[in-house]
């Protein structure tokens, strides 16, 4: 652990996020804030939520020493929003404006124009180039100007994977040190804790002690393709009475997945758990992780990174992945099989059968390998705080 530098104050950083709720971005930032204590680094962070309502983890951030502000103006009212945020930026006298909203970061950069903020960062967490408007025509018109504004106004463009950065640069070659890749750092301490009892956890979610679990972790939305897991289960259930599918995540398709399970005839083999805080424990007792994200969904594109894929590897959980995941997320190839969705659910079920027949991986070797990789907690923390050094 490195002692804090008493002779120099930490940079005053304002992180602009949607809200401190259960999103991957915000969860990662809180993990990085907490890591400051682990590595003996003093941080001066403010979270600026563009949503006026309180976030689920506002108080957690405050307990960790951060300031949490909420915009009093909705983002839809662009000029009023910019004026309000500009007043907050001026009052805070920040050293770093770190924007975590992809293309929409152009609005936040505009709010800080002329305030003399020494470092501005656009952090790109998704590869879909999404503009939040109900009008496809308006989104198409705004997409390129907003991207160009980000490139022109930011000192750093940060992608969470090579694919994400390259997509945002739109064919332009990366220009270091402006353009960098920073992987999410994960805390492998959670994977070092004693593993839960397999039978006990199964009973807690209504499964028999000898159930074999196909695990899906992620938002229950169309492009994550959770219904495809039900199709795979339908093929497996024909000759395997002990295989079940468990879904950990919330979203609009929770009911649809259960309806699809009824239609396929495997309703009794499916558990939709909703949002869970114990996905590490679920991964540690599951038998296969299935990640069937769509590969060419309109206006969505490939996964930005797929942190849950890295976490599954840290748990030593064998995985079957679609082509919708960047290569960056595959740290331990021996644990990861890939198959295009076009192969169909029969082919996916066949590969899952092979995975289930393999011996379990050594979990200690797995999380130690992730801990030595660019996805380690320290690598992620050091990379993030390096962006804030002026």
Sheet arrangement for strand 67-70: 67-70, 44-49, 12-17, 96-99, 119-124, 156-159, 179-181
Q: What is the pLDDT of residue 6?
A: 52
Q: How many CB atoms lie within 10 A of CB 362?
A: 11
Q: What is the pLDDT of residue 127?
A: 83
Residue 130's closest CA among 297, 308, 321, 340?
297
* pLDDT mean across residues, the chain: 93
pLDDT bracket for residue 311 (50, 70, 90): very high
Backbone φ and ψ for 373, nearest 5 degrees, come out as: -90, 180
How do residues 232-247 score in pLDDT, each as one tens digit? 999 999 999 999 999 9
Check the CA dihedral 295-301-306-308 and report its sign.
Answer: negative
Give the integer Cα–Cα distance in Å for 110 and 195: 48
Backbone φ and ψ for 339, nearest 5 degrees, come out as: -155, 135
Backbone φ and ψ for 74, nearest 5 degrees, come out as: -70, 145
Q: What is the mean pLDDT of residues 138-156?
A: 92
- Do 255 and 230 form a contact (C-beta atoms < 8 A)? no
Residue 202's closest CA among 194, 193, 211?
211
Q: What is the pLDDT of residue 300?
A: 72
Q: What is the pLDDT of residue 298?
A: 67
Q: What is the pLDDT of residue 4?
A: 45
Q: What is the pLDDT of residue 333?
A: 97
Residue 2 has pLDDT above 50, yes or no: no
Q: What is the pLDDT of residue 299?
A: 67
How do residues 167-178 score in pLDDT, each as one tens digit? 999 988 999 999
The tokens of 324 are what?
């919708």
């Amino acid at each position: 652990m490195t002692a804090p530098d008493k002779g120099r104050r930490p940079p005053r950083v304002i992180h602009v996020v949607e809200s401190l709720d259960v999103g991957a971005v915000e969860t990662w930032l809180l993990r990085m804030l907490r890591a400051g204590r682990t590595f003996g680094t003093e941080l001066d962070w403010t979270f600026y939520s563009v949503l006026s309502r309180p976030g689920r983890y506002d108080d957690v951030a405050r307990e960790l020493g951060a300031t949490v502000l909420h915009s009093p103006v909705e983002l839809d009212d662009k000029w009023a929003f910019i004026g309000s945020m500009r007043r907050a930026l001026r009052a805070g006298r920040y050293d770093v404006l770190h924007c975590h909203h992809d293309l929409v970061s152009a609005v936040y950069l505009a709010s800080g124009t002329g305030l003399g903020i020494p470092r501005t960062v656009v952090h790109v967490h998704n590869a879909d180039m999404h503009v939040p408007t109900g009008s496809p025509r308006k989104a198409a018109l705004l997409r390129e100007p907003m991207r160009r504004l980000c490139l022109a106004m930011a000192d750093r463009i940060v992608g969470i994977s090579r694919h994400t950065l390259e997509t945002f640069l739109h064919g332009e070659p990366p220009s270091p040190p402006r353009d960098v890749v920073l992987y999410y750092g994960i805390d492998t301490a959670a994977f070092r804790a004693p593993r839960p009892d397999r039978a006990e956890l199964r009973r807690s979610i209504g499964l028999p002690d000898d159930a074999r679990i196909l695990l899906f972790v992620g938002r229950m939305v169309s492009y994550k393709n959770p219904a495809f897991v039900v199709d795979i289960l339908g093929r497996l259930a024909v000759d395997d009475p002990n295989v079940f599918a468990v879904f950990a995540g919330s979203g609009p398709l929770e009911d649809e997945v259960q309806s699809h399970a009824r239609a396929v005839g495997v309703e009794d083999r499916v558990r939709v758990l909703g949002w869970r805080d114990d996905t590490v424990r679920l991964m540690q007792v599951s038998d296969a992780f299935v990640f069937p994200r769509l590969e060419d969904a309109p206006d969505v594109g490939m996964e930005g990174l797929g942190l849950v894929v890295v976490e599954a590897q840290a748990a030593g959980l064998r995985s079957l992945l679609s082509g919708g995941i960047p290569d960056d997320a595959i740290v331990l190839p021996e644990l990861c099989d890939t198959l295009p969705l076009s192969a169909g659910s029969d082919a996916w079920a066949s590969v899952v059968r092979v995975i289930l027949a393999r011996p379990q991986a050594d979990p200690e070797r797995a999380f130690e390998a992730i801990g030595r990789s660019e996805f380690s907690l320290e690598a992620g923390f050091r990379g993030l705080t390096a962006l804030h050094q002026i």
